[in-house]
């Protein structure tokens, strides 16, 4: 059975880009007689606001979306992320990092050939191999991406399934475990990260098809690596195009004029919204 999900962060209002992703995931599940789940990615407590939870629920209901189980909150599942981190520690594929952002920037500036990935400069590995703790600072935990690649061996994932999950239309992509470098899997302040939490939750909710923006394609290489390390099942991915405004800018939560609540207040209907999205996608 196909199981999809929509996992917004309650750190702002939903906009047209969110609506497009949610509608795709919902239709993929419904057309196949599967299940559609809703989850709040709310581990970043510094940016979460209580009113955004209710606003998201109202927006999705207005769109006509329904979900098939109780809504999950990542803030309720911190123990599960700690368990996963502990498993990675036992595999010796993570290490403590005591570096501040400023210290990392300073070290990168001194390198002749700083390591880079699709999202910019990569962590230079300052704390990799450090045998003793550095002062009294609480560490973050980073993935040793080279060791992870050695442990998992060659991996791949499939993306862009049709609504009927036609395997002939899926693209097989080889995983590059070191694409994002030694990325943080557990922040100092919250004990986890988006990358670790989303992989743990997708496995726990038995998500089979993950629909999200093309900007997260690089992250999928990391997520597939974590799935393998943690013995989680493999999902299929649909990385859809990003929705942009008239200036060609990717939509963000600061674009309040295209927030679903704003469009609703202006008298737009769900049907109007679908027409707007169709127009924007065809540009």
- Kindly list the averaged pLDDT for each block of 10 residues, start to end, along the chain of length 283: 96 90 93 97 92 95 95 97 98 94 83 77 87 77 97 92 52 94 94 97 97 92 98 93 65 64 89 80 55
Q: Identify the pLDDT of residue 5.
A: 98
Cα-Cα-Cα-Cα torsion 39, 29, 63, 70, nearest 10 degrees, comes to -30
Q: Tell me if domain 1-75+243-283 and domain 77-204 are identical in fold.
A: yes
Give exposure, 131-158, as e/b (b: 16+ Cβ within 10 Å).
eeeeeeeebbbbbbbebbbeebeebebb
Q: Is the dihedral of CA 29, 35, 40, 41 positive or negative?
A: negative
Which superfamily does CATH assign the domain made up of 77-204 to?
HUPs (3.40.50.620)
pLDDT recorded at residue 224: 98
Strand order in the sheet with 184-186: 94-97, 140-143, 184-186
Beta bridge partners of 171: 159
Burial string for 233-270 (b: 16+ CB within 10 Å, else e) reads eebbbbbbebbebeeeeebebebeebbbbebbeeeeeb
**What is the structure's pLDDT at 252?**
55
Report d(CA 137, CA 100) in Å as an integer.
Answer: 10
Distance between CA 63 and CA 54 in Å, rounded?
14
Beta bridge partners of 103: none
Comparing CA positions, the residue from 43, 79, 73, 89 lying closest to residue 190 is 43
The CATH number, out of the four listed (3.40.50.2300, 3.50.50.60, 3.30.530.20, 3.40.50.620), of the domain defined by the range 1-75+243-283: 3.40.50.620
List the chain domain ranges.
Answer: 1-75+243-283, 77-204
What pLDDT does 245 receive?
60
């Amino acid at each position: 059975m196909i199981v999809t999900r929509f996992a917004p962060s309650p750190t702002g209002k939903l906009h047209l880009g969110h609506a497009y992703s949610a509608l795709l995931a919902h239709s993929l599940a419904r057309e196949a007689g599967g299940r559609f789940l809703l989850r709040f990615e709310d581990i970043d407590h510094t940016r979460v606001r209580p009113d955004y939870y209710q606003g998201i629920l109202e927006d999705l209901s207005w769109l006509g979306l329904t979900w098939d189980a109780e809504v999950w909150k990542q803030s309720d599942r911190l123990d599960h992320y700690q368990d996963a981190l502990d498993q990675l520690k036992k595999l010796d594929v993570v290490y403590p990092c005591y570096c501040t952002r400023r210290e990392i920037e300073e070290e990168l500036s001194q390198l002749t050939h700083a390591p880079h990935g699709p999202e910019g400069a990569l962590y230079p590995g300052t704390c990799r191999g450090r045998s003793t703790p550095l002062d009294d600072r609480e560490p973050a935990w980073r993935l040793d991406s080279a060791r992870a690649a050695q442990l998992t061996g060659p991996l791949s994932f499939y993306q862009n399934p049709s609504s009927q999950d036609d395997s002939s239309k899926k693209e097989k992509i080889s995983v590059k475990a070191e694409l994002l470098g030694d990325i943080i899997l557990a922040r100092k302040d919250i004990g986890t990260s988006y990358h670790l939490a989303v992989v743990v939750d997708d496995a726990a909710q038995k998500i089979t098809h993950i629909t999200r923006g093309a900007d997260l394609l690089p992250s999928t290489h990391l997520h597939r690596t974590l799935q393998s390390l943690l013995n989680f099942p493999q999902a299929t991915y649909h990385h859809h195009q990003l929705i942009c405004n008239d200036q060609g800018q990717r939509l963000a939560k600061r674009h309040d004029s295209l927030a679903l609540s704003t469009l609703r207040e202006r008298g737009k209907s769900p049907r109007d919204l679908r027409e707007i999205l169709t127009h924007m996608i065809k540009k």
